[in-house]
Amino acid sequence: MRRVHIQLAPAYDVLIGEGALSQLLPFPGRLALVVDAEVQRLHGERIALQLGDRPREVFTMPSGERNKTLRTAEGLYDWLAANRFERGEAIVSIGGGVSGDLTGFVAATWRRGVAFVQVPTTLLAQVDASVGGKVAVDHASGKNLIGAFHQPRQVLADVGFLKTLPLREMWAGLAEVAKTALLCGDPLFTRTSSTLEALARGQEPLEEVIAGCVAFKAGVVQRDPLEHGERAILNLGHTIGHALETVGGYERFLHGEAVAYGLRASLALSGIPQTSPAWSLVRALRVPPLGRLDVNDVLAAMQGDKKVVGGRIKFVLLDGIGRPRWNCDVPPERVREVVQQLLDGEI
């Protein structure tokens, strides 16, 4: 079992390995389990076995980004009220990034804040979404616009859940791994680049890569917990990625797929040479075709992003592998040019 300690307020551990769920902290009272519907179908018995006789109630959350809304949150609030969950009891999210984001948002606001635990069941959530305390729901005008910072008490990245993850979801998770590798450089960059296909197919152990991503993010978040500066680098590829998700109605692309396209745009905006290994890594990520999207729709969706300041979008750019810059201005005409190139399949 690998352990990454995150020194925030409160401090907590990320445990990475098979059977991590069995290491759940001994919270008083009942557990409010919020379990993704597909995870419950595939792993319900395994979850029950690892939790043993811990007293708990289970809320089954519908799968998919389209359900990360205030309406779903309201249903969870109603369930917590009906079951009389108190402030001293803990909420546990078992699912991917959608479940973790929404459950964390509810935990941050139920009775003005209760303890919650992240049990991420997708690669994307294990390497990124479950760590750092960002919790949110989506709004029709943009992704994650309604949210808070609420750190988990524990993150249990049980790699056993990944055994049933579809290949498409594995590739989506590897987009976030690639993002982190571009930000931090070696040794994660070389390891990811050399084993990408094997990682996707479960032919290479994932614990080391997951731990590397979590450790890098932990360092950034500890230095800038509320994203006043450096933490913004973790948004590499996300400004355009989030816009693609929005234009696609949160159904056409998985989050990681949209980020993979956003990384291409980020490398182009950064002026990274096409011969760079950075391009080789990003192009190796498997993504569905973009289809027919209008550049104006994508640009309009970008204006709804949280990173717009005074009407100007602030980008994360790279001076090279492991050398990110944040809060960067890019001329609007250059942004339009790169987005059009992306939609035309030129980058």
State the catalytic residues: 112, 134, 176, 217, 227, 231, 235, 238, 242, 255
CA distance 306 to 328: 14
Give the residue ranges of DSSP H helices in 163-304: 167-184, 188-200, 207-223, 238-247, 255-270, 277-284, 295-302
Q: First CA to last CA across the chain, in angstroms?
A: 40
User: What does the angle CA 237 – CA 166 – CA 68 come to, to the nearest 5 degrees?
Assistant: 55
Distance CA 185, CA 339 (A): 26
Please calculate the CA angle 342-96-168 and round it to the nearest 5 degrees.
45
* Pairing verdict, β 90-95 and 31-36: parallel
Q: Are residues 299 and 278 in contact, defined by beta-carbon separation less than 8 angstroms?
A: no
Task: Check: CB of residue 173 under 8 Å from CB of residue 90.
Answer: no
- 236 neighbors 267 (Cβ within 8 angstroms): no
Q: Which residue has the tokens 């729709």?
A: 297
- Residue 216 contacts by C-beta under 8 Å, 6 or more apart in sequence? 180, 183, 184, 188
What SS3 state is found at 56? Answer: strand
Helix (H) or strand (E) holding 4: strand 2-6
Residue type, 238: H
Tokens encoding 110 = 């139920």
Six-digit token string for 209: 């890569």
Q: Check if the beta carbon of residue 59 is closer than 8 Å to that of residue 79.
A: yes
CB 182 within 8 Å of CB 188: no
